Amino acid sequence: MDLFLLNMRFFAHNFTLFKTSKKMNHPTFIIRKAVEMDMLTVYEQICVLEGMRLNRNDFIKIYFTNIQNQNILYYLAETKEGKCVGFISCHIEFLLHHCGKVAEIQEFVVDEAYRSLGIGALLLQQIENEIISSHCVLLEVTTRKTRLRAHQFYEKNGFSSSHFKFTKTPSKNL
């Protein structure tokens, strides 16, 4: 039995099946929770997203810590053949200034060859379903200024551009 079928049986309770429109004649995609054994697949997806190789040892430590946290959601999109074609992560936390739980998408990537097929919308819908059941009051996402297609995707899916995000790398001189 191939590894994909074995995974499907073992993690069947985590699977949600989605089909893209038959009119568009696209394949079936599976959206499922990421598990420990997906670490290398997720690592590759995040390296693509960031455009560089990340420190694998640090990544492994963070991945295995986060996968155990019920307030951190990791989902994969796969083809029916088991090829990972997308990943989304979302962190949920209580924020004082929102007086409730807020979910924030941290990483979101769809394989370039599979973009504009509805996979991103399926991953996003899965996260939205999760945060509704978690009683979150808001879903946030930050994206680089240069990712114009991502901006369009978020606006198309109901997000509004309402904030600026400023970042700073800590230095020893602080």
Check which CATH number belongs to the domain holding 23 and give it.
3.40.630.30
Q: Model pTM? A: 0.81
pLDDT at 67: 97
The domain in which residue 132 lies consists of: 3-156
Q: Is residue 34 part of a domain?
A: yes
- Distance between CA 150 and CA 159 in Å, rounded? 11
Does a structural domain hold residue 163? no
Q: Mean pLDDT by 10-residue block, N- to C-terminus, for the chain (174 residues)?
A: 36 40 53 97 96 97 98 96 96 96 97 94 96 96 90 93 88 71
Indicate the burial class of 162 (C-beta count within 10 angstroms; 0-12, 13-18, 19 or more): exposed
**pLDDT of amino acid 173:** 65
Specify if 169 maps to a domain.
no
Residue 108's pLDDT is 97
Domain count, the chain: 1
pLDDT reported for residue 28: 81
